[in-house]
Structure 1
């Protein structure tokens, strides 16, 4: 009968216990003089078990951490072979997931039982969802194209309403215009109309921008031209008063039922070349006069035109100036002054506009327009355009 030392049995028991607890015990060592018997043979097999268990445990820990490229141990134990097969399946599943992430929604899994069914159903639903999104995007793109085509057509109509610089000619002045709508169409418009009293120059800055602003600008221009042509109204202050009535009446703003609370700011000048005179009236927009190297700001009246809160009986103030070659006059919408930009994102403001024109006011007007546009765009930089921008300028010919 084999005689086994009780201490050796205790070490076997402790190693088995540590394996059952998920620990990695050290190999058991017998002294060199230990007999070559069945117990030594058992210990050798037990040490092989510990070695393969240790390699298997490292392999399992690596898989638990998601290290699917970890080299599996060279073991013939069935449990190791099963996990090697699981590792191969997970690696293949990872590849299929990467293909799906790259857009190949036809990938399917057929080697992981119930998981395969759930995975394939998820992929099928993703494929259907992407197909639905793609179809909806196609419909949206077609709708956007039709809307954009319509707006671009409206832009051609709106642009056709803008007078050329040559329209200033009958007033005996050289004139320029700069029109930069924020969107394809905008709420800013300007008119240069010849009338028996001289030439009327009007800048209209309507509520909003884009399509709503463009609709308001059409309404405002229609009202202005009706007053000039049908009612022979030529005085700037009277035109502002008449346009205020026109907007409030047309949009039914005197009634509680009207949903509209829209309007516009406007500046109108009557140029009388025979008298050498300019008459200005403004509704919340000023006139700028550059004379003797200094910029003078002639403020318009505070009320705007239209809007439910505005009064129908407001009286606008007229201002008169000599129309002489030594002066340059400017009108601009608030989109020019309110545009944020620069290093601190601050509005250009009147001080910025003043610096623009005082630097180039004595140069040809075409040069001034190019300079002002470039300076405005440089100020705006990467900041989003806030509003439509319009600038008019003129100088009496010598």
Structure 2
């Protein structure tokens, strides 16, 4: 029996130990889940964002904190750059939860979800300018942007009828939409509106209907933590729809608070009511002081002083208290509220500036690493879409400007309005600087909104004052209406009976003052009549004084008309002279009687016709024609050459009641000066034309290219008569050279640079042995620097050129290319490749004197086409959207015409450039060389 019981006890003991271990493990797990890590993206408003102090904030953060508090869990946040890293943290086990994530089948592979917290739409946004896109059915064939790891990207990836472009951040995608790089953007609707309002861009976009998909969002818990899911779910029960949840939702999703809110109105009302109470409380004291003053005046017998006391009615007294106090209080309150608004907007602007720089830095790092100036300029240009941007600039490691937009010289209003971000490149774990991004914002948009607020405040203040005045007038009329009615009846009775009987009304208030003033007026009426008689007697003297005054004004008018340098004449609607000045008689050389008021316009015209002032013909017909023309009374402006060679300019217009006024100016000297200026221009133009012939004479003859190459073309078009682009070819060593250069400037300065380049190139060929192309480029660079005085620290010139050299070897089977900030395009078998030169130009003050240039060798030249171009072609602005021709369009065009002869290729390139340019002006010189070697 004992042997039988022993195993039973051992088994029971083992079970107890196992249950104890499980209980301890469960307890430890529960304790370990009292502190969890939540992963979140840094910029997905209104769900996730970072405040000015770097702390996480947003709708999802507030909801997570509220639920965690109910569950007794402490949450710390791991902030990631984007959604891909955020989801990666949950997959890898580095995070326990994501506070708010869209529920999808794919995400259920690595996460379990609570009941939904909310739902929102994934929608398509387009620019307001794209009126042709009305709904989702119009999206076929367009370019649509989406954000990496967002649901919108996955939804659009399944569609084959459109082109999808993925961006790392929402900021990049939004700027791409507004700049035209993409035609639509797929993103959560609520997040898009919130972010665009923060960027001040919500007025430039609109949403298409219906949405792509409606997404439910919930707390995503790591799949191996079902206990944590249960705790969070218990805490969530009853939370959704509660007052606390609604307050959080309203905080992050409601539109920006209006200027006037209920609490703001309440504050203003309390202040005004308080001032009114103070005014009423002080009124007895004011009355007492006033009564004492009147008593003192009565005792002193100062009746004259009493009569001169300003009339101060009850209404004016009340308004003199209320209006200033209410106005002062409202103005102070408005200014204080606008000051708080400005501080809030300024802090948001600083936060937005830091976010934009942080988010856009990776894109600039890639462009700076590749030294892609065009990409840098494009990215900088998109910054100007943001309304607060004052300017932005990218510097390379040498401090040279790679690109800039806006105003970068003006200092910011405060230091926080400018961010200087170092661009870093990471290679094998080592980070090194490759440039700097400096961005500046201003507060002009904030001040505009403050000004709008102040305008509304002014209107509200005006309404308050009108209401205050109206209510005061109404109250006073009710209080003193009856006494005033008795006073009026007494005055009318006195008027009808013509008896000056004093009004019997005794009162110490304003009404009493009015009655006393009326009685005094009756007493003084007789005295007033006597004064009228005296004025009648002196009327003749007054007329004489008025006549003298009019004569003085007439003399003054004549002096003014005589002082102006133009002749002036005015005729009434009957073509009779109203006025003229002495200068008119001098310029038109007419008799004095025709300059007197009342003389007829027809007499003047007949006088001019008889002395040959007009065209040949019957004088009477000429006079009749001029009269008909004058009677139209319209604006007129013309020049006329008189028989004596004098040139006059006539300008004038109609008078309000008919007639016209004209001015005459002698412009003979001005016309003579214009003729001299035209002659000088012709001389300069002839000189430039001669310079153009000289410049063309130094260019290589086409026969040289034809003798060396199997096929070729040269497209050389200066923007002006002379230009700064140069092409060149010469035998060198056992091979021959083909060179294309783009000098700084165009026109005459550019032409001078081409002559300097030609001379330096001739000298360099003498100094360097044939075939050493890199050394030839280096020597050319040195000679240009010495010629322009750039060698040494004291050089002031910063001119130079970009240059490409192709050296074809003696066997015609290999070629060496060296580029100084220049590229060689190679087309073969329907494909194009670009051989980039060294990223340093020729000359320029900042480039080392012994700059080394890289050589690139191309072998098997058969069936290959080579092209070099200056930036005049790719930088030309045109097309429907007024954008640059661009390298991409140039590459596609080369592929399109690769099978044509070089002559036909030249014609096609020229045609494409001309059509793309359209009505735009040519921006720079254009030079393109294409050739084949057999």
Structure 1 partner of 2:749: 212
> For 2:734, which of 197, 220, 224 is the aligned residue?
197
Q: How does 1:39-188 map to 2 (within 5 A)?
A: 95=630, 101-104=637-640, 105=648, 123=664, 126-127=665-666, 130-188=667-725
1:213-250 CA-to-partner distances (Å, cap 9, x unmatched) read 00001000111111114544543221221111111111
Structure 1 partner of 2:797: 260
> For 1:347, which of 861, 881, 884 is the aligned residue?
884
CA distance in 2, matches of 1:280, 1:190: 15
The alignment partner of 1:101 has SS state of: strand
Asked whether the equivalents of residues 171 and 198 of structure 1 are also in contact (C-alpha less than 8 Å), the reply is no
Asked whether the equivalents of residues 286 and 331 of structure 1 are also in contact (C-alpha less than 8 Å), the reply is yes
Q: How does 1:372-387 map to 2 (within 5 A)?
A: 372-387=909-924
Structure 1 partner of 2:823: 286
Distance 1:323 1:366, change over 3 A: farther
**CA shift at 1:258, angstroms?**
3.7
CA distance in 2, matches of 1:303, 1:268: 14
CA distance in 2, matches of 1:99, 1:173: 69
The alignment partner of 2:916 has SS state of: helix
Structure 1 partner of 2:848: 311
CA distance in 2, matches of 1:132, 1:344: 47
CA distance in 1, matches of 2:650, 2:918: 47
Asked whether the equivalents of residues 639 and 650 of structure 2 are also in contact (C-alpha less than 8 Å), the reply is no
CA distance in 2, matches of 1:336, 1:303: 21
Structure 2 partner of 1:237: 774
**CA shift at 1:166, angstroms?**
2.6
**CA shift at 1:197, angstroms?**
2.8
Asked whether the equivalents of residues 261 and 308 of structure 1 are also in contact (C-alpha less than 8 Å), the reply is yes
Asked whether the equivalents of residues 289 and 297 of structure 1 are also in contact (C-alpha less than 8 Å), the reply is yes
**CA shift at 1:322, angstroms?**
2.0
The alignment partner of 1:325 has SS state of: coil
Distance 1:98 1:315, change over 3 A: same
> For 1:358, which of 871, 887, 895 is the aligned residue?
895
CA distance in 2, matches of 1:102, 1:244: 59
**CA shift at 1:131, angstroms?**
2.1
The alignment partner of 2:712 has SS state of: strand
**CA shift at 1:257, angstroms?**
4.6
Distance 1:333 1:107, change over 3 A: closer
Asked whether the equivalents of residues 163 and 191 of structure 1 are also in contact (C-alpha less than 8 Å), the reply is yes
Structure 2: which 5+ residue stretches go unaligned? 1-569, 576-596, 603-625, 641-647, 652-660
**CA shift at 1:169, angstroms?**
4.0
CA distance in 2, matches of 1:156, 1:388: 17
CA distance in 2, matches of 1:98, 1:195: 76
- Structure of greater relative contact order (alpha carbons < 8 Å, 6+ residues apart): 1
Asked whether the equivalents of residues 193 and 199 of structure 1 are also in contact (C-alpha less than 8 Å), the reply is yes
> For 1:370, which of 896, 907, 911 is the aligned residue?
907
CA distance in 1, matches of 2:780, 2:599: 80
**CA shift at 1:190, angstroms?**
0.7
CA distance in 1, matches of 2:650, 2:920: 45
The alignment partner of 2:639 has SS state of: coil
Asked whether the equivalents of residues 191 and 203 of structure 1 are also in contact (C-alpha less than 8 Å), the reply is yes
* Aligned Cα root-mean-square deviation (Å): 3.1
Structure 1 partner of 2:619: none
**CA shift at 1:70, angstroms?**
9.2
CA distance in 2, matches of 1:174, 1:89: 79
- Superposition TM-score, scaled by structure 2 size: 0.31
Asked whether the equivalents of residues 717 and 925 of structure 2 are also in contact (C-alpha less than 8 Å), the reply is yes
Stretch moving more, 344-353 or 167-176: 167-176
1:67-99 CA-to-partner distances (Å, cap 9, x unmatched) read 97699xxxxxxxxxxxxx97976998x949979
Distance 1:136 1:396, change over 3 A: same
CA distance in 2, matches of 1:187, 1:136: 34
CA distance in 1, matches of 2:862, 2:680: 53
CA distance in 1, matches of 2:852, 2:830: 33
Distance 1:137 1:174, change over 3 A: same
The alignment partner of 1:103 has SS state of: strand
1:75-129 CA-to-partner distances (Å, cap 9, x unmatched) read xxxxxxxxxx97976998x949979712132779xxxxxxxxxx89x62xx21xx
Asked whether the equivalents of residues 709 and 931 of structure 2 are also in contact (C-alpha less than 8 Å), the reply is no
Asked whether the equivalents of residues 730 and 736 of structure 2 are also in contact (C-alpha less than 8 Å), the reply is yes
**CA shift at 1:192, angstroms?**
0.7
CA distance in 2, matches of 1:170, 1:352: 32
Structure 2 partner of 1:44: none
CA distance in 2, matches of 1:230, 1:134: 58
Stretch moving more, 346-355 or 233-242: 233-242
1:249 maps onto 2:798 in alignment: no
Structure 2 partner of 1:300: 837
Distance 1:317 1:230, change over 3 A: closer
Structure 2 partner of 1:331: 868
Rg larger in 1 or in 2? 2
Distance 1:106 1:339, change over 3 A: closer
Distance 1:183 1:275, change over 3 A: closer
CA distance in 2, matches of 1:318, 1:256: 29
